[in-house]
Structure 1
């Protein structure tokens, strides 16, 4: 299976980066081909809603890194979103990538599985509600099948996350696909 992992953290060694690393390790051990797109370290401009893509077969008027990576995302069988929680939902970096799916909705829609992996400082039950609703809305709109969720709550820094079972859970989630 071809898997695209899209990360949204500006911290190369942060909590969600560790979860992405562990997920990828498990997925590769199971024989899957994994492509990683670290949105915070790519040049991804926000969607302008100009509709240039609508008359140019999904090509964006923006000349940034998304144009080069659309093909990888389109040909993937699974898309995994990995993000820290910023104000109860995904980071702006990963949201910019999701917004840019717009130009290729028809090519991306249907026949894909998806997962969400997130880390958060907060540990109460409501911490992940906004992200979960956003993720479910994306699934519904794109007609993608949910293949799993991992919400690592109560993990403000990597050192705390490393003392939990969440990295193992991310690894096992990767192995399970």
Structure 2
């Protein structure tokens, strides 16, 4: 299976980066091919809803790093979304990439994909990530994709917090059992 991991984390050594590495290790050990796209270190303009992508058939008006991500999204069997929780939802870097799926929604909605969500957040309250989880669930429902799991690292504001928890093992198992 070809798995695309789209990370919105702006911290190369942060909590979600650590969880992502564990997920990838498990997935690769299980024999999956994994491609990682770090949206925070790419140039992705936000969707403007200009409709050029649908009116002309020439794709998005922006020729940015979505040109690299688009074929990976279309050619993957599964997509894993990774985001820290910022104000109870996904961060802007990941949201910008997902919003740009709009240009090729018609193709995506005909594909049977699997998906997962990996997140970390400092709050000790489980519902602090409920906005992100709900957005993820609604996106999958809209696309018709299958949910394969969620790792939500509660109370983990940094990599040390994650290392002192069971969340790396959970992320590894999610990848291993994908």
CA shift, 1:152, in A, is 0.4
Query: 2:136, 2:123 → 1: CA distance?
Result: 19
Quick check: 1:119 aligned with 2:120?
yes
Equivalent position of 1:78 in the other structure: 78
Shift of the alpha carbon at 1:4? Answer: 0.4
Mapping for residues 86-97 of structure 1, pairs under 5 Å: 86-97=86-97
Matched residue pairs, number?
Answer: 177
Q: CA deviation at 1:56?
A: 4.0
| Structure 1 residue 132, shift from structure 2 partner | 1.0
TM-score (structure 2 length as normaliser): 0.96
Stretch deviating more after TM superposition (117-126 or 94-103): 117-126
**Structure 2 equivalent of residue 38 of structure 1:** 38
Q: Which residue in the other structure is 1:22 paired with?
A: 22
Q: Which aligned pairs between 1:149-168 and structure 2 lie closer than 5 A? A: 149-168=150-169
Q: Is contact 1:4–1:76 with CA below 8 Å preserved after alignment?
A: yes
Which runs of structure 1 show a deviation greater than 4 angstroms over 4 or more consecutive aligned residues? none
Distance 2:58 2:81 in 1: 21
* TM-score computed with the length of structure 1 as normaliser: 0.97
Per-residue deviation at 1:58?
6.4
Deviation, structure 1 residue 148: 0.6
CA RMSD of aligned residues (A): 1.0
CA positional deviation for 1:106: 1.4
1:59–1:67 Cα contact (<8 Å) kept: no
Unpaired runs of at least 5, structure 2: none
Q: Match of 1:170?
A: 171
